[in-house]
Amino acid sequence: MRNLALAEIMLLVVALGAISCNQRPSGEARPAAAQKHYQVKGKVVSVDKKSRMVDVDGEAIPGYMDAMTMPYSVKPESELDRLHPGDAITADLTVEDDRAWLENIRVANPPPGPPR
Question: Nearest-CA neighbor of 104 among 37, 16, 50, 11?
Answer: 37
What span, in angstroms and rounded, lies between the C-alpha atoms of 43 and 77?
18
Tell me which H or E stretch contains 37: strand 36-48
The class (CATH top level) of 36-107 is mainly beta
How many other CB atoms are there within 10 angstroms of residue 83's CB atom? 21
Confidence (pTM) = 0.66
What span, in angstroms and rounded, lies between the C-alpha atoms of 79 and 50?
13
Q: How many residues does the chain have?
A: 116
What span, in angstroms and rounded, lies between the C-alpha atoms of 26 and 57?
43
Q: What is the pLDDT along the chain (116 residues), one digit of tens a residue?
A: 555 444 455 544 444 444 445 555 555 565 667 899 999 999 999 999 999 999 999 999 998 999 999 999 999 999 999 999 999 999 999 999 999 999 999 998 665 656 55
